[in-house]
C-alpha cells in the first residue's frame, strides 16, 4: 500500500533531540517514522533536506476577537506555520445578550467547524454571573476541560476567591484544568487610581500600575487555592521573574500539577519596546524589563515554562484608539500569531541557546499533553494525526506591517529581522502552507474535544 505523503531527508525534532528520520502519512495519520523511507513508495513526497521536521505546532492561548473571528484568526495562524489552535470562548467576547456560557461555547465551536482553517480545541472563560454548576458539567460533555478565571479586572471579569475555589473544586472532581490570569485586580485598581490622580498616564505609568508583585501575589494565591482543592492549575502569560520563584516554591512540594505559560511578546519585547510602540503594544500583564525577559528564557530552557503561546487577538491600529493620550484608556490586546513561530525559533536558536527540542516541547508536546490532545497531536508517532511543520532555518526575513493575513493590520514586531520560516505545514495529511502560500480552505479544521483524564 503506497503512503499518501512521505517527507524525506529532513532532521526530525522531538522533545528529546534531533535525528535523521523520514515521516510517512496515510489516511490523515502518521503511518511510519523511520531513518529512511523510499519517497517513490508514496503518492506524493517532499524533500526536506537541510530542513527540520517538527510535529504540528499548537497555539494554546489566543482570542479570535476584535476584528477577527476564528476564520480570519486561523488564516493568520496557518500563514505563520501553526497547525492547531486552542482559543478562549467567553460570554463577554463571543456571547452577550441572553447567551449562557454553554450556548456561547457551543456556538463558538460551531463557527469554528464552519470557518476554521485549522483544527481547534477550546477553553471556556468563566465570568461573574456565569452559572458554573450548570456550565461545567455540560461543557465537559462537549469536550471542554480547561476553564479560565481572572483574578484581575474587578466588575465584569474578576472572580473572587470563593468563586475560584468553587470552580477549582468542580474541576478537580472531573480531572479538569483551571487556567488563571494572575494579577491582583484590586491592587491594580488602587495603583491606577493613584497614577491617574497624579496625571501620570503614559505607557511607563501603565507598567507601574501592574508591577511584578501584583502578578506574583496572584500566582501564589492561585497555586494555594489549587493545592487546597487538589485542582491542576495553569498560569497563563507569566511575565515576571518573581512569578517563576513562586512556581518553584510550589513545585518543590507534592500537590496538583502546576503549569506555566509565557507568550511571544514577553520573550521578544521589553518595557522599552512597549514605550516606543505605545498603545498598539498595550497588553496585560505589561511587557516587563530585560531581567524578566532573561528569566523567562532561562525558565523556558530549563523546562520550567511548559508552553509558549501567542495570546494574540485580532486587534487593529484603529481599534487601539490612536487618538487616545491617556494610556490607561487604550484598549488591551495585540495581534501576533503569524510571527510567533519564526520569532521564537530564531531567538531560541541564535540568541538564547534553547535548542530546538526545548521549543518543540513548548510548542507541540506540552500543550498537547496538558490540554488532553496528546492522543492526536503533539508528536510524530504512528497512529497520531499527520500534522507536521517542515522548518527551513535559512531564509532571512524582516517583519513589516504589510502582507499580513487575517484582519489585523499591524505587528508589534515590525522592524525585527531573523532567519527561518515554515516551508511546509501539513494537517491530517493535507497541505496547509507551502512556501508562504496558505493552501487550506476555511472550514477544513475540525473541533478537537479534550480527552479528559488523559495523562498530563
Nearest to Zn ion of 334, 440 (CB atom): 334
Smallest gap, in angstroms, from Cβ of residue 121 to Zn ion?
15
- The DSSP letter of residue 27 is T
Smallest gap, in angstroms, from Cβ of residue 385 to Zn ion?
25
Contact between 284 and 210 under an 8 Å Cβ cutoff? The reply is: yes
Nearest to Zn ion of 61, 339 (CB atom): 61
Nearest to Zn ion of 232, 311 (CB atom): 311
Residue 160 CA: distances (Å) to CA of 27, 186, 250, 307: 48, 11, 22, 26
What whole-number distance in Å separates Cα of residue 161 and Cα of residue 141? 26
Q: Measured at CB, which residue is nearest to Zn ion?
A: 311
Three-state SS letters, 258-278: EEEEEEHHHHHCCHHHHHHHC
Smallest gap, in angstroms, from Cβ of residue 273 to Zn ion?
19
Nearest to Zn ion of 179, 277 (CB atom): 179
DSSP string, 212-253: HHHHHHHHHHHHHHHHHHT-EEEE-S---HHHHHHHHHHHTS
Residue 332 CA: distances (Å) to CA of 169, 186, 205, 268, 316: 31, 18, 15, 18, 11
Smallest gap, in angstroms, from Cβ of residue 122 to Zn ion?
14
Nearest to Zn ion of 83, 315 (CB atom): 315
What whole-number distance in Å separates Cα of residue 164 and Cα of residue 169? 8
Instruction: Provide the binding-site residues for Zn ion, judged by CB under 5 A.
Output: 311
Nearest to Zn ion of 59, 119 (CB atom): 59
Phi-psi region of 174 (alpha: psi -120 to 50; beta: other; left: phi over 0): alpha
Smallest gap, in angstroms, from Cβ of residue 17 to Zn ion?
32
Residue 402 CA: distances (Å) to CA of 63, 177, 405, 407: 22, 38, 9, 12
Nearest to Zn ion of 87, 374 (CB atom): 87
What whole-number distance in Å separates Cα of residue 405 and Cα of residue 116? 14
What whole-number distance in Å separates Cα of residue 378 and Cα of residue 365? 4
Smallest gap, in angstroms, from Cβ of residue 253 to Zn ion?
29
Smallest gap, in angstroms, from Cβ of residue 311 to Zn ion?
4
Smallest gap, in angstroms, from Cβ of residue 200 to Zn ion?
26
Torsion of CA 132, 284, 244, 301, to 10 degrees: 110
Nearest to Zn ion of 266, 391 (CB atom): 266
Tell me the chain's radius of gyration from C-alpha atoms: 21
Smallest gap, in angstroms, from Cβ of residue 63 to Zn ion?
6
Smallest gap, in angstroms, from Cβ of residue 332 to Zn ion?
9
Beta bridge partners of 54: 389
Smallest gap, in angstroms, from Cβ of residue 61 to Zn ion?
6
Contact between 269 and 284 under an 8 Å Cβ cutoff? The reply is: no
C-alpha cell at 299: 525558565
Nearest to Zn ion of 332, 394 (CB atom): 332
Nearest to Zn ion of 217, 311 (CB atom): 311
Q: In what order do the strands lie in the sheet with 417-427?
A: 17-20, 11-14, 52-55, 388-398, 417-427, 430-434, 437-438
Nearest to Zn ion of 407, 427 (CB atom): 407
Contact between 337 and 59 under an 8 Å Cβ cutoff? The reply is: yes
Amino acid at each position: 500500500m503506497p503512503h499518501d505523503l512521505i517527507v524525506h531527508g529532513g532532521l526530525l525534532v522531538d522533545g528529546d533531540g534531533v535525528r535523521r528520520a523520514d515521516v510517512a502519512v496515510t489516511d490523515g495519520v502518521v503511518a511510519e517514522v523511520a531513518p529512511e523511507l523510499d519517497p517513490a513508495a508514496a503518492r506524493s513526497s517532499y524533500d526536506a533536506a537541510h530542513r527540520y521536521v517538527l510535529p504540528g505546532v499548537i497555539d494554546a492561548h489566543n482570542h479570535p476577537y476584535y476584528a477577527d473571528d476564528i476564520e480570519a484568526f486561523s488564516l493568520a495562524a496557518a500563514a505563520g506555520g501553526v497547525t492547531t489552535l486552542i482559543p478562549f470562548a467567553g460570554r463577554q467576547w463571543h456571547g452577550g445578550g441572553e447567551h449562557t456560557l454553554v450556548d456561547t461555547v457551543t456556538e463558538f465551536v460551531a463557527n469554528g467547524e464552519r470557518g476554521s482553517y485549522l483544527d481547534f480545541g477550546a477553553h471556556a472563560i468563566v465570568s461573574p454571573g456565569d452559572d458554573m454548576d450548570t456550565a461545567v458539567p455540560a461543557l465537559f460533555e462537549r469536550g471542554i476541560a480547561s476553564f479560565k478565571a481572572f483574578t484581575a479586572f474587578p466588575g465584569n471579569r474578576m472572580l473572587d476567591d470563593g468563586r475560584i475555589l468553587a470552580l477549582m473544586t468542580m474541576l478537580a472532581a472531573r480531572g479538569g484544568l483551571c487556567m488563571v490570569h494572575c494579577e491582583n485586580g484590586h491592587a491594580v485598581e488602587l495603583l491606577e487610581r493613584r497614577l491617574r490622580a497624579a496625571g501620570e498616564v503614559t505607557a511607563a505609568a501603565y507598567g507601574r500600575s501592574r508591577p511584578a508583585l501584583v502578578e506574583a501575589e496572584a500566582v501564589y494565591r492561585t497555586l494555594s487555592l489549587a493545592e487546597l482543592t487538589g485542582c491542576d492549575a495553569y498560569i497563563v502569560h507569566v511575565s515576571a521573574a518573581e512569578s517563576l520563584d513562586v512556581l518553584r516554591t510550589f513545585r518543590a512540594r507534592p500537590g496538583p500539577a502546576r503549569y506555566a505559560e509565557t507568550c511571544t511578546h514577553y520573550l521578544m519585547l521589553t518595557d522599552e519596546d512597549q514605550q516606543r510602540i505605545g498603545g498598539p503594544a498595550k497588553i496585560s500583564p505589561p511587557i516587563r524589563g530585560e531581567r524578566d525577559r532573561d528569566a523567562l528564557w532561562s525558565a523556558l530552557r530549563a523546562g520550567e515554562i511548559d508552553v509558549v503561546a501567542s495570546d494574540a487577538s485580532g486587534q487593529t491600529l484603529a481599534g487601539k484608539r490612536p487618538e487616545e493620550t491617556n494610556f490607561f484608556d487604550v484598549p488591551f490586546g495585540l495581534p501576533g500569531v503569524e510571527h510567533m513561530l519564526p520569532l521564537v525559533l530564531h531567538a531560541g536558536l541564535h540568541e538564547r541557546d534553547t535548542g530546538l527540542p526545548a521549543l518543540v516541547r513548548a510548542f507541540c508536546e506540552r500543550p498537547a499533553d496538558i490540554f488532553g490532545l496528546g492522543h492526536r497531536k503533539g508528536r510524530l508517532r504512528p497512529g497520531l494525526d499527520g500534522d507536521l511543520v517542515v522548518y527551513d532555518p535559512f531564509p532571512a526575513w524582516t517583519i513589516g506591517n504589510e502582507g499580513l493575513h487575517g484582519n489585523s493590520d499591524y505587528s508589534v514586531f515590525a522592524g525585527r529581522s531573523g532567519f527561518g520560516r515554515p516551508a511546509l505545514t501539513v494537517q491530517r495529511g493535507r497541505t496547509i502552507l507551502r512556501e508562504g502560500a496558505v493552501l487550506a480552505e476555511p472550514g477544513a479544521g475540525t473541533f478537537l474535544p479534550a480527552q479528559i483524564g488523559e495523562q498530563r
